[in-house]
Amino acid sequence: MEEGLFAPCHDSSPAAYPYLSSNALDDLSYDMTTTVNQTLAHPSLHPKNLGILSKKKSWGLHLDLMVLSDSGNIYDALFLAARAALWDTKVPVTRAVEYQGKKGSATLPDDMDLEQESGFDTRQVSRAVDFELPDYWDEGETLAGQDQWPVCVTLNIVAPVYYLDATLQEEASTPLRLLLALSFPKSGPARLQATRLLGPGETQLSQVKSLVQEGEKHARELFAALEAKLKEEDVRRNQRARDRFVLR
């Protein structure tokens, strides 16, 4: 069983969808939350370093996504924001606190040989019961499995072609949309983490297979561009942190 809790969730501001009733907005938020949660909370994407004390204590990771404005292609934006937020998240460094004692508390006669005694074990034992947070200036370690978190590419299908990055008006006139969530581990092939079809349109299975291959090419480019930007921000952020540390 994985240790730790990872709970992605999403909410939409009424200002982002002023033309929707409150019930319709709740339904839309539920659909988006379900899509994000079922993808990112999958066990294969669970960060491996959330545990503190094995089977006793662990960190809970909550990812909150808020839509303030929607000009179309919102699912791709949600997954980009999720990956950027997780990339920047750090797990506090902990140190286990233990107690020591003897197994068995009875007093033995002075002439009894401990090696031959069979009823008591006087070995020293220790057990972690709590933890403390060392005060490190870098505020902990990054979440494990950064290369596993996917990006999403939405293919707007108007048979026999598709297009990307649709506006709200274009989405309303598109009969079918295919959502592809893909990750690109440092070792191994690309991984298709989730798929979803939106809209009343229909498509053939053979066409879906070719669309997945096309979507992988676009997702790889998006993944590489986002990762380059995140690493650039890491360099800038770490330099500012070092400068503050020197001035202490």
The structural domains of the chain, ordered by start, are 5-93+138-246 (3.30.230.70), 95-132 (no CATH)
Between CA 209 and CA 219, with CA 214 as vertex, the angle to 5 degrees is: 120
Helix pair angle (74-87, 22-40), 10° resolution = 50
Mean pLDDT value of segment 140-144 = 85
Report the percentage of the chain scoring pLDDT > 70.
78
Torsion angle defined by CA atoms of residues 128, 134, 138 and 144, in that order, rounded to the nearest 10 degrees: 10
Q: Which stretch of 59-68, 120-129, 207-216 has the lowest confidence by average pLDDT?
A: 120-129
Residues 181 and 40 sit within 8 Å (Cβ to Cβ): no
Whether this prediction's pTM lies above 0.85 is answered by no
Structure-token pair, residue 233:
């921000």
Structure-token pair, residue 14:
């009424």
- Look at the chain and count its residues: 248
